[in-house]
């Protein structure tokens, strides 16, 4: 009896292993086919993409902070939020010839997202809370996936008695990548 059950177990195990290998091979082949198509996509016009423009006019030019120069160095750079889009998808949509440029624009955006809360915090420390608020609201509007941006802005809203705006932040956080979204939603719901 034990031998019979063991044989059935082996047959089922073999079946599931073969099924899993077959599925894995299909996934790999689908990826390779997509990558090959992406590598043969002609260059597309990227001038109409949703480029991000930092609202420089809302920032104090003559306030020196430790991160000001790094943040302001982004002034003449192109920024695109390409979070969550794979290189294969970028090549497929815009052509392999645009990949390096799009990657650079995305890197500029990522740099802006990492500098923005630091610079805003420094503006707050120096008494430029309204400028920091504008900058943080800009970060939220371009779906920057930094928890610090949301938390700093929520703190400003609380300090200024604008707690009703926290529900706006919660709505905006719904569009963030899953890991960031959950952390932001958890923190904001406690606020």
Output the tens digit of pLDDT for each of the chain's 191 residues. 777 777 777 777 787 888 888 778 887 887 777 788 778 889 999 999 999 999 999 999 889 999 999 999 999 999 999 988 999 999 999 999 999 999 999 999 999 999 999 999 999 999 999 999 999 999 999 999 999 999 999 999 999 999 889 999 999 989 888 888 888 888 887 76
In order, the DSSP letters of the chain are -HHHHHHHHHHHHHHHHHHHHHHHHHHHHHHHHHHHHHHTPPP---TTS------GGGS-TT---TTHHHHHGGGGS-----TT--HHHHHHHH-GGGHHHHHHHHHHHHHHHHHHHHHHHHHHHTT-HHHHHHHHHHHHHTT---HHHHHHHHHHHHHTT-GGGHHHHHHHHTTS-HHHHHHHHHHHHH-
| pTM, 2 dp | 0.82
């Amino acid at each position: 009896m034990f031998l019979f059950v063991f044989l059935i177990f082996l047959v089922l195990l073999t079946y599931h292993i073969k099924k899993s290998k077959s599925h894995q091979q299909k996934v790999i082949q689908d990826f390779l086919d997509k990558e090959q198509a992406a590598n043969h996509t002609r260059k597309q016009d990227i001038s109409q993409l949703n480029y991000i423009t930092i609202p420089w006019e809302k920032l104090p030019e003559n306030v020196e902070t430790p991160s000001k120069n790094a943040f302001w160095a982004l002034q003449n750079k192109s920024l695109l939020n390409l979070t969550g889009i794979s290189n294969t998808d970028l090549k497929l949509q815009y052509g392999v010839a645009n990949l390096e440029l799009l990657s650079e624009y995305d890197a500029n955006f990522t740099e802006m997202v990492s500098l923005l809360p630091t610079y805003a915090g420094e503006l707050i420390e120096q008494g430029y809370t309204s400028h920091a608020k504008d900058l943080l609201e800009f970060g939220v509007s371009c779906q920057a996936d930094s928890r610090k941006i949301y938390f700093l802005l929520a703190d400003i809203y609380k300090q200024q008695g604008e707690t009703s705006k926290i529900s706006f932040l919660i709505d905006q956080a719904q569009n963030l990548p899953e890991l960031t979204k959950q952390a932001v939603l958890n923190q904001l719901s406690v606020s």
